[in-house]
Structure formats: structure tokens, C-alpha cells
């Protein structure tokens, strides 16, 4: 069949141009990883063909042999990697190579620093194995044909601003990638060097990786040639799925290299768990926790992470079927023994066996994290990368909520540092005698939380408060209302129940202040009108004049701001008619001055200033900042007279 020539030149997506620029300028000191990445892509292509052929054997095109071949040509200065996998259509080549169509791309490039070592680590997080070819090549030619399709396509680029696509003929399915090596990269035109790279990085791949081997001529004792020199194919790797081997027979290096294959990462993982579950539903799992968060960690719909095999036959990498979203950073494989090989993705979603496997895998990962948490230094590294994602588990996984709660870490007034290293169990151990609640404050930044006026009475009494400044914290604490029998209580909601910690003198002073300021409270309420639901004497403040409080069951002011920023229609003063409570500190000089103020207009100005200051101290925004400035200036001018 003759393929009609159809060649076009297309430009790379902006992000790909940036990435290729970094690749071409040799950010990697370990150049040999290009071969591992291309072999891993070939292995993935074979896995996909295996799965598709379960329901359509004709895709094998009469040849069910799957493998990868590596060749080199010293004269042409090329290295070629060929696979017999599923191949790609013209559209797929354009989508997967000409474009990086994933969320998180912008954030990834914003992290680029110009520091080569750090940037190379970030590229490893990006999952861009194919582009690593440009580390050693100044031109790459890819020829591919999708299994079951007639048209093949050739992609070619020098790694600059554009690439070409043209229709060609290709007799077999699969993909061939030819690397035209740069000057100075002759080390990769050596068979021994290439074999050593394959053994180092890809020995565990279950597909055979084949290279040609030169066999010298054989001679007898008299020197007479008995067999001529020849070239034979040789399988370079052991082609044994790593997870099927005994743990005792696998070295740490082998575990790490397998992670880099399945995780498409360039760094060693933080830890792993390898386990065989026996019984009515037998399966083997090998799961890893990465050392760094991938660039698309916050893409909650990402369809990668853990691969499912059935007796070493790839089925799916739809991560959500095998691991909940809050564990979407986990990488690895699960190989089941008893699931039917003709299972489809739709049936898979409804399979009770899959649900059982998923539950078992989650239990193993949570157990792994529990063990990791015993090493504070290691767990700190993990939490800094994945802590916010783990917090989602309390919201999503009710069954394991108590287990996940023990894994949580927070900042607190115990150390007053931004480092999140306080476990809820640690907090309980430090609770004062008579204290029966775990106190926390939420804000839109650590600084705002640390300096919140709501903490003043707690600091005075030496009561620890958790400082929550991550956006997910608002949803977290709405789902985590107690821990080990201790209620979690916001210091900015409802009445503070500190009676057990108050002295009789404290209680008496509050009663007297409330009675003494009764008329002032009424007058402030009249001034503020429907901006507030109530005005009362505070038992929270020691240094600030006033603060805003929400009702025990109302949405926090911080949550309202988050919802508003997300496009919800509401104002800062509440949603659905909910209004804050305004608390004043009777011991503050400004509040004393308003008590003795005889001028109603001046009284109103001071009351509004105190209210606006309370909004600002909560991290809120004023509806009319200019009016606030005008009132404040008038007050200051009056003091100067």
C-alpha cells in the first residue's frame, strides 16, 4: 500500500520549548538516563497493547511477540530504540510529543530557579522521559504505526522551535526512535556501554530487551576456522518482573531503579512496601512513596500512579480504582492472581475483588506511613511534600479517618514556627490539667494565624493552640471534630469554655465588666447595626481592643473568604444572613475612651474604627477603606489638639 505523502511543520507548545532548552543545555550530569526513559516508554506501549488485545487479538497482527530492541551505528552515529508495542496515530504523536497537555505546567515552570541541580530535579518530577533524548542527541526521528491502523507517521525534530510530521510506510506496528548523537557523545556508540546501562536501569522490565552481539570466528587446535564470525541477537536483561521475586533476593538498588521505571522519576523513592497477600483473593503489591511531589500533584483527576496487572498482564493504570485520591502520589504495581483476564475497565470498576485489593493496598500504605512517622527527620521530609494531600484523607476516607488523624502534623504555639511537626497525640500529652479540648485557629497565612488576637488569652494561660493556615484545613476540621475523645475547638467560634482554667478572680472581673459596660455594648450595637449579630465583652483578648467571632455552628470568616475567592456569591460578613459577633476588651485604653465619650458622632467613629480593625486583624478586606482612613485621621487629629 502506498501512503500519500503528508508532511507538515508544526511549532512546539511554549512549555515544551522551555523544557527542550533546559534539556539541550545539559542540566543532567547523568546523561545515560535517556536510555532508561525510552525503554520505559516502550515497555508502557507493550503493556497497553497487551490490554487492548484482550478484547481484540487482531491487534497483534499475527505476531504476539513483544519486546524492545536497542541498536547503534558507529558510522551514522545513531542509537535506535525500537518496540513492538501499540504504537501511535498521527494525532497521538502530536498530542503526546508536540504538546504537554497536563495541568500544573505553569506552576512547574514557575519553580524553575536557574540553579542547575535543582532544575534537573524538577524536570525529573515533570515526567518527560521522551524529551531526555535531547540530552545526547541533536536530532531525534520517531517512526510509529498504531496497531490495527494502516498509516504510519514520522516525527522529527532538532529540539528547537518546531518539528515535522509526515505520513510514511511501516511494515510492523510499534515505534522506532533514532537518536542522532551530538558531538562528544561517542560513549553511547559502544555495545558494552549500552548493555551496562540496560542492566543497571532496566534489568527488571518483564519484556526482553534485545541487542546484537558479535560472535568471533571459531577455530580448531590447528587454527582452522570451524565457524565464521557472525552476529546474533542477545537478550540483555533478565526480563523478570521484579515484584514477583522474593524480597530477600532484591537489593535496595534494584528496588530504587524499578521505582524510577514505574514512577518516571529521576530520584530514589523515600520508602516502599513489598508484600504478597494470600488467601481467597491473592495479590502482590510493590508500592513506593516518592521523595518529592510530582508537578501535577494537585491534578486530582490524574490517571496514573499505581498499575494493575493480572498474572503479569497489564490491565490499567487508572489510579483511582486502586488508590484513593488522597494517596495519588503513591507509585508502584499491584499484581492480582484471581481476576479474570478478559476483565474490562467497566467491570473492573464494579469488582468486589478490586475493592478488596484497594482496601488492602490503602492499609499497607497507611501502615508504611505510620512506621515512617517514627523517624521524625524522614517524616518531616514526607510531610513537607505530601502533608496537604494526606489531610484530604480525613475528608474522603471515613473508614480510615482515625488512622489518618494520627498521621497529621500541624504548626502550633508550642514552638511558634511554621514547621508542621505537632501530632495531635503530642498536643494531648501537653494539655493542661482540666483542659478537655484541642484548640485551633485558622487563617489565610501562618503569620496571620500566629498573630491572631484570638490567641491572646491562650498565650496568657499557656494553653497550646494549633495554627492552621493551609486552605484544606477548613475542610479538614469540619470533618475532624474530635480526636481520641477530645473535641477540636476553634478559638474564634462561639463562647470560650475556659471556666475550668479560670480563677475565681477572673470570673468576677468578667461579670463586673459586663455589668459596667452594659450601656456601651448597647450603643455599639446601635452604631454597627446589621453588620453584627451581637456585641459582648470578650474573654479572649488581653492586648487587642476588639475581635470578631462567629457562632459555634457558623462558617468561619476565613472559610467565607476562601469561598468568595472561589467565586461564591457572599460578602465577608456572612453567608445566608449569618453575621459575626463583635467582642470588645474592657481593659483596653481605646475601649475605655469610648465608654467615656459624650460626642455621639465621635463615639460612632471610634466604634467603626474598632470594628474595621477587627476585620483587618482577621485578614479580611474593608468594604470602604477610604472611610476607615478618614475616620482614623479625624480621630488622630482630635488627639493632637
pLDDT in tens, 79-128: 999 999 999 999 999 887 765 534 344 454 555 555 644 554 444 444 45
Alpha-carbon distance of 581 to 533, in angstroms, equals: 5
Q: Say how far apart CA 353 and CA 454 lie, in whole Å.
A: 50
Of 137, 143, 142, give the one whose Cα is nearest residue 20. 137
Share of the chain above pLDDT 90, in %: 49
Q: How far apart are CA 551 and CA 505, in angstroms?
A: 27
Pairwise CA distance, residues 159 & 163, whole Å: 8
Q: What is the mean pLDDT of residues 304-312?
A: 79
Q: Both 202 and 318 in a single domain?
A: no
My answer on whether 395 and 481 are in the same domain is yes
Q: Are 263 and 290 in contact (CB under 8 A)?
A: yes
Decide which of 454, 477, 494 is a domain's last residue.
494
Given a cut of 80, is residue 500 above it in pLDDT? no
Report the DSSP beta bridge partners of residue 554.
none
Rg (CA), the chain: 33
Which residues are 73's β-sheet partners?
A: 78
Mean pLDDT in residue range 587-606: 87
Does one domain contain both 203 and 293? Answer: no
54 and 172 co-located in one domain: yes
Comparison of pLDDT for 236 and 263, the residue scoring more: 236
Mean pLDDT of 365-383: 96
611 with 627, same domain?
yes
3, part of any domain: no
Structure confidence at residue 288 as a pLDDT band (50, 70, 90): very high
Nearest by Cα to 401 from 410, 391, 411: 391
Q: Supply the pLDDT for residue 304.
A: 65
Asked whether residue 581 is assigned to any structural domain, the reply reads: yes
Same domain, 42 and 184: yes
Q: Hey, what long-range contacts does 554-563 have (CB within 8 A, 24 or more apart)?
A: 554/493, 554/578, 556/442, 556/474, 556/490, 556/492, 556/493, 557/492, 557/618, 557/620, 558/442, 558/443, 558/444, 558/474, 558/618, 558/619, 559/442, 559/474, 561/444, 561/619, 561/620, 562/444, 562/471, 562/474
- pLDDT score of 3: 53
Q: What is the pLDDT of residue 574?
A: 41
Give the per-residue pLDDT at 469.
92
Chain centre distance of CA 584? 43
Can you tell me which residue has the cell 504505526? 145
How many helices and strands (H and E) does the chain possess?
22, 24
Q: Please return the burial class of 43, using the count of CB atoms within 10 Å of its CB with bins 0-12, 13-18 and 19+.
A: buried
Closest CA to 261 of 207, 320, 310: 207
Place of cell 453567608: 575
Whether the predicted pLDDT of 525 surpasses 60: yes
DSSP 142: E
- Which cell numbers hold the place of 604? 460612632
pLDDT digits (tens, 9 = 90+) for 598-607: 888 889 999 9
pLDDT value at position 11? 81
d(CA 619, CA 560): 12
**How many Å apart are CA 250 and CA 271, to the nearest integer?**
14
Q: What is the mean pLDDT of the chain?
A: 84
Q: Does a structural domain hold residue 2?
A: no
* pLDDT score recorded for residue 103: 36
For 427, list phi and psi in degrees, rounded to 5.
Answer: -60, -45
Most confident of 232-236, 338-342, 363-367, 442-446: 363-367
Q: Does the pTM exceed 0.85?
A: no
Determine which helix (DSSP H) or strand (DSSP E) holds 391, and give its type and residue range.
Answer: helix 376-396
| pLDDT tier, 639 (very low <50, low <70, confident <90, very high otherwise) | low
Which uninterrupted H or E stretch holds 82? strand 78-83
Q: Is residue 10 scored above 90 in pLDDT? A: no
Q: Does residue 328 share a domain with residue 200?
A: no
Q: Which three cell numbers stand for residue 550?
A: 462567629
> pLDDT at residue 66 above 90?
yes
Burial class (CB in 10 A: 0-12, 13-18, 19+), 470: middle
Higher pLDDT, 285 or 351: 285
29 in the same domain as 112: yes
Residues 102 and 183 grouped into a single domain: yes
Domain membership of residue 338 as a residue range: 242-372
259 and 230 co-located in one domain? no
If pLDDT is split at 50, 70 and 90, which confidence band does 387 have? very high
> The domain spanning residue 451 has which CATH number?
3.40.50.11260
Count the domains in the chain: 4
Identify the band that residue 514 occupies on the pLDDT scale cut at 50, 70 and 90.
confident
pLDDT tens digits, one per residue of 161-185: 789 999 999 999 999 999 999 999 9
What confidence tens digit (pLDDT) does each residue in 416-458 have?
Answer: 999 999 999 999 999 998 899 999 999 989 999 999 999 999 9
Kindly state the percentage of the chain with pLDDT values over 70. Answer: 84
Q: Where are the alpha helices (DSSP H) in 26-150?
A: 33-55, 90-97, 105-110, 116-126
Q: Are 101 and 185 contained in the same domain?
A: yes
Q: Where residue 554 sits, what CATH number does that domain have?
A: 1.20.120.790
**Do the Cβ atoms of 620 and 557 come closer than 8 Å?**
yes
Boundary (domain end) residue, out of 206, 235, 264: 235
The three-point CA angle 53-57-61 to 5° equals: 105
Helix, strand, coil shares of the chain as percentages rounded to 5? 45, 20, 35
Q: Is residue 82 part of a domain?
A: yes
Residue 146, pLDDT score: 96
Q: What is the CATH number of the domain that holds 206?
A: 3.30.565.10
Residues 313 and 390 in one domain: no
Mean predicted confidence (pLDDT) in 129-158: 92
Query: Domain ends where: 339, 372, 405?
Result: 372
Q: Is the pLDDT of residue 341 over 50?
A: no
pLDDT range class, residue 532, cuts 50, 70, 90: very high
Amino acid at each position: 500500500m502506498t501512503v500519500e505523502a503528508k508532511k507538515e511543520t508544526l511549532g512546539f507548545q511554549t512549555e515544551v520549548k522551555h523544557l527542550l532548552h533546559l534539556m539541550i543545555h545539559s542540566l543532567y550530569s547523568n546523561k545515560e538516563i535517556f536510555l532508561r526513559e525510552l525503554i520505559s516508554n516502550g515497555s508502557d506501549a507493550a503493556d497497553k497493547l497487551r490490554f487492548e488485545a484482550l478484547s481484540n487479538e487482531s491487534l497483534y497482527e499475527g505476531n504476539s511477540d513483544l519486546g524492545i530492541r536497542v541498536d547503534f551505528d558507529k558510522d551514522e552515529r545513531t542509537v535506535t530504540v525500537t518496540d513492538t508495542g501499540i504504537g501511535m496515530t498521527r494525532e497521538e504523536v502530536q498530542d503526546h510529543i508536540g504538546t504537554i497537555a497536563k495541568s500544573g505546567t505553569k506552576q512547574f515552570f514557575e519553580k524553575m530557579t536557574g540553579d542547575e541541580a535543582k532544575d534537573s530535579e524538577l524536570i525529573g518530577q515533570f515526567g518527560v522521559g521522551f524529551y531526555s533524548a535531547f540530552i545526547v542527541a541533536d536530532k531525534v526521528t520517531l517512526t510509529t504505526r498504531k496497531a490495527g491502523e494502516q498509516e504510519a507517521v514520522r516525527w522529527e525534530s532538532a529540539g528547537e522551535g518546531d518539528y515535522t510530521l509526515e505520513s510514511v510506510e511501516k511494515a510492523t506496528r510499534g515505534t522506532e526512535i533514532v537518536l542522532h548523537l551530538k558531538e562528544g557523545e561517542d560513549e553511547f556508540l559502544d555495545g558494552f556501554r549500552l548493555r551496562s546501562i540496560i542492566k543497571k536501569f532496566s534489568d527488571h522490565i518483564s519484556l526482553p530487551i534485545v541487542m546484537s552481539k558479535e560472535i568471533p570466528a571459531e577455530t580448531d587446535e590447528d587454527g582452522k576456522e570451524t565457524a565464521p564470525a557472525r552476529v546474533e541477537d542477545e537478550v540483555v536483561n533478565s526480563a523478570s518482573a521484579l515484584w514477583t521475586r522474593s524480597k530477600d533476593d532484591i537489593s535496595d538498588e534494584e528496588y530504587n531503579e524499578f521505582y524510577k521505571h514505574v514512577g518516571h522519576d529521576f530520584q530514589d523513592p523515600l520508602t516502599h512496601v513489598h508484600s504478597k497477600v494470600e488467601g481467597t483473593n491473592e495479590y502482590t503489591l510493590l508500592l513506593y512513596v516518592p521523595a518529592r511531589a510530582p508537578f501535577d500533584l494537585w491534578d486530582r483527576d490524574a490517571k496514573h500512579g499505581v498499575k494493575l496487572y493480572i498474572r503479569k498482564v497489564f490491565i490499567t493504570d487508572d489510579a483511582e480504582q486502586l488508590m484513593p485520591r488522597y494517596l495519588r502520589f503513591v507509585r508502584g504495581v499491584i499484581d492480582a492472581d484471581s481476576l479474570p483476564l478478559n476483565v474490562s475497565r467497566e467491570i473492573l470498576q464494579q469488582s468486589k475483588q478490586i475493592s478488596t485489593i484497594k482496601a488492602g493496598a490503602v492499609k499497607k500504605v497507611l501502615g508504611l506511613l505510620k512506621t515512617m512517622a517514627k523517624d521524625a527527620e524522614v517524616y518531616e521530609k514526607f510531610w513537607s511534600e505530601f502533608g496537604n494531600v494526606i489531610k484530604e484523607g480525613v475528608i474522603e476516607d471515613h473508614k480510615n479517618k482515625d488512622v489518618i488523624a494520627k498521621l497529621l502534623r500541624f504548626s502550633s504555639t508550642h514552638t511558634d514556627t511554621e514547621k508542621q511537626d505537632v501530632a495531635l497525640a503530642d498536643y494531648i500529652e501537653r494539655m493542661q490539667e482540666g483542659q478537655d479540648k484541642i484548640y485551633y485557629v485558622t487563617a489565610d497565612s501562618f503569620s496571620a494565624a500566629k498573630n491572631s488576637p484570638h490567641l491572646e488569652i491562650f498565650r496568657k494561660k499557656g494553653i497550646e493552640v494549633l495554627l492552621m493556615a493551609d486552605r484544606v484545613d477548613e475542610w479538614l476540621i469540619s470533618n475532624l471534630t474530635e480526636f481520641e475523645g477530645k473535641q477540636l475547638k476553634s478559638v474564634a467560634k462561639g463562647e470560650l469554655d475556659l471556666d475550668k482554667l479560670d480563677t475565681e478572680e477572673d470570673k468576677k472581673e468578667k461579670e463586673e465588666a459586663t455589668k459596667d459596660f452594659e450601656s456601651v455594648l448597647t450603643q455599639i450595637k446601635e452604631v454597627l447595626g446589621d453588620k453584627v449579630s451581637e456585641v459582648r465583652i470578650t474573654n479572649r483578648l488581653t492586648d487587642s481592643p476588639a475581635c470578631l467571632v462567629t457562632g459555634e455552628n457558623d462558617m468561619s470568616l476565613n472559610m467565607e473568604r476562601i469561598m468568595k475567592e472561589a467565586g461564591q456569591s457572599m460578602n465577608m460578613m456572612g453567608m445566608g444572613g449569618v453575621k459575626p459577633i463583635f467582642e470588645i476588651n474592657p481593659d483596653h485604653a481605646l475601649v475605655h475612651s469610648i465608654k467615656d465619650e459624650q460626642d455621639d458622632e465621635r463615639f460612632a467613629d471610634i466604634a467603626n474604627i474598632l470594628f474595621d480593625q477587627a476585620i483587618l486583624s482577621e485578614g479580611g478586606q474593608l468594604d470602604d477603606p477610604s472611610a476607615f482612613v478618614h475616620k482614623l485621621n479625624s480621630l488622630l487629629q482630635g488627639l493632637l489638639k
